[in-house]
Amino acid sequence: MSKISLSVRHYMSNRLATLHENQDIREVVTIFTERNLFGGAVVDNLGNLVGILSVTDCIDAALRAGYHSGWRGTVGERMSRDIRTVDAEDNILDVAKMFMDDHYRRYPVLDDNRVVGVVTRLDVLKALCKIRESGFAV
Task: Report the alpha-carbon distance of residue 43 to residue 22 in Å, rounded.
Answer: 11
Whole-prediction pTM: 0.84
Tell me if 89 is assigned to some domain: yes
How does pLDDT run across 33-58, given as a tens digit for each residue?
999 998 999 999 988 999 999 999 99
> What is the pLDDT, as a whole number, of residue 45?
92
Domain count, the chain: 1
Tell me if 98 is assigned to some domain: yes
Q: What is the CATH number of the domain that holds 64?
A: 3.10.580.10
**For residue 85, what are the contacts with CB-CB under 8 A and spacing of at least 6?**
49, 107, 108, 109, 110
Task: Report the alpha-carbon distance of residue 98 to residue 92 in Å, rounded.
Answer: 10
> What is the pLDDT, as a whole number, of residue 1?
42
> What is the pLDDT, as a whole number, of residue 2?
53
Longest dimension (CA), the chain: 61
How does pLDDT run across 101-138, given as a tens digit for each residue?
998 889 999 998 889 999 999 999 999 999 988 877 66
Identify whether the C-beta of residue 4 lies closer than 8 Å to the C-beta of residue 22.
Answer: no
Tell me if 108 is assigned to some domain: yes
